[in-house]
């Protein structure tokens, strides 16, 4: 606005009469008011949305603490990095999958901050030397964070305790599911939805120089940040691939509508698969039947769900939001979702220009994902002994 009026003055118009001056000033005033309303219509809209969200009931109550598990040994991890999927296969990248269920009432975000708690999920074999070292790096460099290692059984108790009253269908799906990776994916979204905090896979190590409290850049610490995600693939792949958020590390406030969207989409997807394959329940689903895990419950499911939820919150299309948040060298806030650049959580799968590196525009890796992928067997992970 200031810039605009200075420019008008700078143009050095000469007014021959007072009425001409008044008329000109009035016209400019009108135009400025119009311009202001036009520019702010988005803000006005999102404020309305936020207020609507605040009127909605609270999320399920947080569960009581579960026990911390002791660990045993597991196989030495193998490393294999995924590559992004060509965009041509993804008609659904941005648009919604059909949602049959009625939307679950959830607030979009609360005034609360992201809880200082790190969540891990152990497989039946517990930790090994590698995962112990990696999880230690996060725990020891963030001593003010509580840490909880969920086990198969503590996770089931937690899901039952937390969601039985409000979402019995979710509990039923969780208990029936047998494929470990599908269960583990669903669990992380359920934990982040009900409890919030930092979810981390066991094969992730943390920077020793950037504590979690500093992962949100200083310029955003006063903003309403509900969810912090990092691009898994963003820079160095051209344009013809699907952008997705890493799910090995996610930070969230509890009760986010974005997270519920992801959960709801997964429940619908699994139920539809059961119908399509004419099974008796989700317990009969195998890894083969669900197709690509990345799409079913993993990073692309998560990314689509978050953008679908943001579409409703911000009245923008996923495409325009992705375009505004791609090839990031700095964090970008969309609504209450803070998207970190590829180098933050996935330095190994993003490549940057030398000149950007030299100019110091490429920041440090906050976490390193070691791609141990214990779920990458034909059963989708370590099976529990029944
Ligand atoms: C869960 O399993 C029970 C018992 O097999 C079955 O009756 C029910 O339909 C299943 N529910 C889902 C959602 O798969
Ligand atoms: C959302 O945006 C579209 C186009 O940008 C506009 O036509 C529509 O009226 C908007 N809806 C709301 C609820 O603001
Ligand atoms: C500053 C700090 O606490 N650094 C620790 C980060 O984690 C590594 C691995 O556990 C430790 O060796 C550092 O001392």
Tell me: pLDDT of 46 over 60.
Answer: no
Whether 326 is in a domain gets the answer yes
Whether 338 is in a domain gets the answer yes
Residue 346 CA to ligand 3 center (angstroms) comes to: 20
Q: Cα separation of 126 and 72, whole Å? A: 5
- Which residue owns the Cα nearest ligand 2 atom 1? 315
Whether 17 is in a domain gets the answer no
Domain count, the chain: 1
Angle between helices 257-276 and 299-314 (to 10 degrees): 120
Tell me: pLDDT of 12 over 80.
Answer: no
Cβ of 363 below 6 Å from ligand 1: no
Tell me: pLDDT of 29 over 80.
Answer: no
How does pLDDT run across 232-243, given as a tens digit for each residue?
A: 999 988 878 889
How does pLDDT run across 117-146, given as a tens digit for each residue?
A: 999 999 999 999 999 999 999 999 999 999
Average of per-residue pLDDT across 191-207: 97
- For all residues of the chain together, what is the average pLDDT? 81
Q: 59-63, 81-85, 95-99: which has the highest mean pLDDT? A: 81-85
Average of per-residue pLDDT across 175-202: 97
Positive or negative, the CA dihedral 269, 275, 277, 281 is positive
Q: 222 vs 34, which has greater pLDDT? A: 222
Residue 190 CA to ligand 1 center (angstroms) comes to: 20
DSSP3 helix / strand / coil % (the chain, rounded to 5): 45, 10, 45
How does pLDDT run across 157-172, given as a tens digit for each residue?
A: 999 999 999 999 999 9
Whether 15 is in a domain gets the answer no
Q: What was the pLDDT predicted at 111?
A: 59
Residue 135 CA to ligand 3 center (angstroms) comes to: 11
Instruction: Give the number of whichever ligand sits closest to the CA of residue 268.
Output: 1
Q: What was the pLDDT predicted at 381?
A: 77
- Which residue owns the Cα nearest ligand 3 atom 10? 137
Whether 133 is in a domain gets the answer yes
Q: What was the pLDDT predicted at 158?
A: 98
Residue 315 CA to ligand 2 center (angstroms) comes to: 6
- Closest ligand 2 atom to residue 315 Cα is 1
Q: Cα separation of 296 and 185, whole Å? A: 10
How does pLDDT run across 307-360, given as a tens digit for each residue?
A: 999 999 999 999 999 999 999 999 999 999 999 999 999 999 999 999 999 999
Q: What is the CATH number of the domain that holds 165?
A: 3.90.550
Q: Identify the domain containing residue 352 by its residue range.
A: 117-369
Residue 249 DSSP one-character state: E
Whether 257 is in a domain gets the answer yes
Tell me: pLDDT of 214 over 60.
Answer: yes
Whether 378 is in a domain gets the answer no
Q: 99 vs 306, which has greater pLDDT? A: 306
How does pLDDT run across 235-265, given as a tens digit for each residue?
A: 988 878 889 999 999 999 999 999 999 999 9
Residue 188 CA to ligand 3 center (angstroms) comes to: 26
Residue 99 DSSP one-character state: -
Instruction: Give the number of whichever ligand sits closest to the CA of residue 277.
Output: 1
- Residue 6's contacts (CB-CB under 8 Å, 6 or more residues apart) are none
Q: Cα separation of 264 and 277, whole Å? A: 20
Report the pocket of ligand 2 as residue ranges, CB < 6 Å. Answer: 45, 315
Output the pTM of the full model: 0.77
- Which residue owns the Cα nearest ligand 3 atom 8? 137
Task: Please name which of 162, 39, 60 lies closest in space to residue 104, comparing C-alpha atoms.
Answer: 60
Whether 376 is in a domain gets the answer no
């Amino acid at each position: 606005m200031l810039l605009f009026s200075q420019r008008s003055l700078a143009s050095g118009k000469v007014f021959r009469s007072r009425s001409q001056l008044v008329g000109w000033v009035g016209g400019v005033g009108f135009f400025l008011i119009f311009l202001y309303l036009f520019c702010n219509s988005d803000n006005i809209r999102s404020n309305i949305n936020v207020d609507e969200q605040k009127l909605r009931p609270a999320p399920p109550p947080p569960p009581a603490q579960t026990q911390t598990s002791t660990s045993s040994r597991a196989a030495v991890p193998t490393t294999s990095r995924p590559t992004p999927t060509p965009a041509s296969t993804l008609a659904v990248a941005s648009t919604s999958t059909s949602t049959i269920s009625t939307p679950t009432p959830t607030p979009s975000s609360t005034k609360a901050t992201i809880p200082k708690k790190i969540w891990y999920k152990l497989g039946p074999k517990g930790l090994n030397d590698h995962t112990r070292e990696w999880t230690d790096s996060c725990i020891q460099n963030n001593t003010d964070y509580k840490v909880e290692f969920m086990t198969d059984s503590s996770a089931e108790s937690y899901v039952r305790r937390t969601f039985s009253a409000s979402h019995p269908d979710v509990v039923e799906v969780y208990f029936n599911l047998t494929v470990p990776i599908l269960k583990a994916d669903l669990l992380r979204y359920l934990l982040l939805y009900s409890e919030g905090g930092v979810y981390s896979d066991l094969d992730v190590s943390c920077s020793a120089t950037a504590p979690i409290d500093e992962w949100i850049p200083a310029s955003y610490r006063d903003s309403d940040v509900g969810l912090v995600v990092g691009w898994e693939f963003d820079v160095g792949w051209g344009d013809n691939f699907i952008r997705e958020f890493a799910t090995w590390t996610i930070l969230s406030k509890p009760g986010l509508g974005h997270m519920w969207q992801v959960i709801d989409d997964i429940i619908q997807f699994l139920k539809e698969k059961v119908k399509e394959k004419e099974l008796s329940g989700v317990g009969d689903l195998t890894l083969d039947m669900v197709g690509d895990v990345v799409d079913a419950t993993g990073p692309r499911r998560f990314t689509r769900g978050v953008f679908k939820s943001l579409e409703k919150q911000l009245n923008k299309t996923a495409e325009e939001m992705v375009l505004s948040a791609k090839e990031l060298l700095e964090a970008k806030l969309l609504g209450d979702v803070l998207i970190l650049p590829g180098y933050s959580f996935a330095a190994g799968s993003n490549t940057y220009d030398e000149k950007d590196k030299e100019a110091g525009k490429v920041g440090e890796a906050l976490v390193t994902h070691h791609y141990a992928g214990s779920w990458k067997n034909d059963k989708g992970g370590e099976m529990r002994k029944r």
